[in-house]
Structure 1
Amino acid sequence: MIAIYPGSFDPITLGHIDIIERGAKLFDRVIVAVLSNPSKKPLFTVDKRIEQITECTQHIANVKVDSFVGLTVEYAKLHHAGVLLRGLRVLSDFEKELQMAHTNKTLNHDIETVFLATTKEYSFLSSSIVKEIAQFGGTIDHLVSENVAQDMYSKYQNQ
């Protein structure tokens, strides 16, 4: 079965990578789908995020990285995926994700959402937190992969 792991991944964190690695053990193929949302102002371009994720996941044979615009369920249908993979950190994530899962089900009855609880070491971690730490000169090497950390340090040094 094919699973789609959608998100903005701006930037991809070690928590995201944990979900990808664990999802890859459960599904035949995991497509990490970077959402291009024109209403948001991301730190990195979609192409740069795809490059970062590809490098971070090169050790996982059944992972593909792609991007999309529009509804996740339509993207899943296009790729014959039966599952949307989502990570949960805290209770507030569950409320939001459950609402989205129910909404997606109304759009496509064939799609299922599978939630994976984040390992406790990443339960606090979000892309927003990583950006804030990096913006103010803090160390993020323990929160993101080396390539992403270097990209972020360079990005904030030049701003």
Structure 2
Amino acid sequence: MPAFASHSVTLALSPAEAWAKLSDLSLAPHYVPGLTGCQFHPGPRQGLGASRRVLQKRGQWLDESVIDWQDGSGFLLRLHRGAEGAPMPFREATFRYALQAEGKGCRLTTRMDYRLRGGRLVEWLLAKAFAKAVRQITENLKLYYETGVTQNAEFKASQ
């Protein structure tokens, strides 16, 4: 059974407004810490099968491929490095974004499911760090979606 980290926020946007932003997979560098850019692989830019390479500091990169797409409510990304599978320290990893109507706005829940190389002990040791990272991504996304101001200093510096 994979370990997971999850965080949820209320967005001051209608579900339709939030989905318009969330479904634009090019926006991740505006709210994910450490990203410096985004390039799409050949094929769709939205929906099942869409795939992007997110660029990181010091020339690092990560591929994110859509393996589940629920139009209007969310999607699931598989995190990998090309055909090699998940990057170290992961054995496997996915990241889910889910929207749900709530009052006049909506709730965004993010969740990273993962299995680490090294097993349960390593998962336990790194659990707080992954929870903090998921929380930061989610809080940054909220601020970016609501204000339009990029929340990632590395991306601002690379532009």
Report the TM-score, using the length of structure 1 for normalisation: 0.31
| Bigger proportion of residues as helix | 1
| Bigger proportion of residues as strand | 2
